Amino acid sequence: MALKNKKVIVSILYTALILLIWRLAFHIQIPLLDRTLINPGSSMFGFLDVFSGGALSQYSIVALGVSPYITASIVVQLLQMDIVPAFKEWAEEGEVGKKKLNQVTRYLALALAFVQALTITLGITAYYGDIFQLGVDVNALTYVYLAIIMTAGTAFVLWLAEKITMKGIGNGTSMFIVAGIVAGFPTMINDLLSLYVIKPEGNSVGDIFIFFGVLLILILIVVGIVFMEAAQRKIPIQYANRPAAAQFRGRSDSNIPIKLNSASVIPVIFASTLMSLPTTVVNFLDQNTLTYWINQIFNYTEPIGFAVYIILIFVFSFFYSFLQMNPEKMAENLQKQNAYVPGIRPGAETASYISRVLFKITIIGATYLSLVASIPIILGYIFELPASVRIGGTSLIIVVGVAIETAKQLKTQSQEKQYRGFMD
């Protein structure tokens, strides 16, 4: 249905063109560095490298991708919780306030990109030694220059993401995250093939069984994600000024649908980003007691880090769910519309009831996200799977979640076109 809509087709092609431009920029590497002294495809960057589609380990000008924007989004949303009154006011001003918050988020993202780029540049120099081309006079301005180039690359990616949001399909930032993750899937499959199928010493029946077993589990994860993303809990409502007959005829529409996973993939993205930042910095430092414990706490392949990762998913699930669906605002809007939940008094009692329902639903949603994110990691412990598979399993949540939201948007756009044609 959507592919019959010319506007939708143009949006899809426009998005594909933007992603192609981003992928071409992927091959433009940071200047002044001697590539022969750097190990390409290094896995020291973890999930940050996954979000950039491998651009970080290749030291591309778009190496940071949208990761600084994700971090800035976390900070700005936390500051809205009565920490910065102006941010809270903007959050309540509708589209105008939303534009102001987006602008602040972008500026903060560029500031974080510069700090992050400078840290990474200093880190790879400390890790590899003198990595600059022969004849380059290295001083403080050299590092600042490289950091500015990487920051400009992030600004370019954010500009491309904004273009996708305005004229393409889906959310631009999410599309770049998905594009980066999908670009790493061939590496994950290749690692699995090299480990269990294409082995110099030959493979056994057990190896083949493990290979297809892992693929089957990843497929089941996708099916589970699709099912859980579609699940809803509907709160019935009635209107005081609507006749009983009208209420009976419109009973199917008189409810508040709440997704079982109302936070969608945001908790996984936030948790993965926060876990990757400390481990990325630690990988460049000399190993000592401090770096050892930081790696234990923030590396989710370690037992402590795994527990922290699950806790962060739960925390962000509750934080984002209640941020997106404010029970007080919902109760206030129902009261303004002369609507009420049967058996519940309007006002504070309605807000309390919605909060209890949202809390119970969020427990299920957070448990589901944690379970899906932890299965590949647990399998990695059991079968000694490569790191790409452990990351790839978590990435499936993001990819499938964004794909479902994008499909819904495409369906909505095609339906709007049909309605306009009917009215015309």
Please identify which residue in the block is written with the tokens 């790696």.
295
Residue 397: per-residue pLDDT: 77
Please identify which residue in the block is written with the tokens 């799977």.
385
- Residue 386 counted as domain residue: no
- DSSP letter at 242 equals S
Domain ranges, residue 160: 1-184
- Across 121-130, average pLDDT: 79
Residues facing 233 on adjacent strands: 258
- Residue 110 counted as domain residue: yes
Tokens at 91, concatenated: 């959050």
Considering only CA atoms, give the Rg of the chain.
24
Percent of the chain with pLDDT strictly greater than 70: 87
pLDDT at 372 over 50: yes
- Residue 146 counted as domain residue: yes
Widest Cα–Cα separation across the chain? 85
Confidence of residue 211 (pLDDT cuts 50, 70, 90): confident
Q: What is the pLDDT of residues 252-279, one digit of tens each?
A: 458 888 888 888 778 888 888 888 888 7
Please identify which residue in the block is written with the tokens 């309390």.
352
Residue 47: per-residue pLDDT: 67
pLDDT at 37 over 90: no
Query: Cβ neighbours of residue 238 under 8 Å, at least 6 residues apart?
Result: 247, 254, 339, 340, 341, 342
- Residue 74 counted as domain residue: yes
Percent of the chain with pLDDT strictly greater than 90: 19
- Across 145-162, average pLDDT: 94
- Residue 363 counted as domain residue: no
- Across 50-69, average pLDDT: 83
Q: What is the pLDDT of residues 314-335, one digit of tens each?
A: 999 998 888 888 888 888 888 8
Confidence of residue 215 (pLDDT cuts 50, 70, 90): confident
Residue 418: per-residue pLDDT: 52
Q: What is the CATH number of the domain that holds 153?
A: 1.10.3370.10
pLDDT at 287 over 80: no
Residue 312: per-residue pLDDT: 92
Please identify which residue in the block is written with the tokens 């452990």.
390
Residue 250: per-residue pLDDT: 46
Among 263, 256, 216, 205, residue whose Cα is nearest residue 233: 256
Burial class (CB in 10 A: 0-12, 13-18, 19+), 405: middle
- Residue 73 counted as domain residue: yes
Confidence of residue 408 (pLDDT cuts 50, 70, 90): confident
Of 7-21, 109-123, 395-409, the least confident: 395-409
Residue 393: per-residue pLDDT: 62
Strands 238-239 and 339-340: antiparallel
- Residue 416 counted as domain residue: no
Tokens at 341, concatenated: 């939940």
- Residue 398 counted as domain residue: no
Residue 252: per-residue pLDDT: 45
Q: How many domains does the chain have?
A: 1
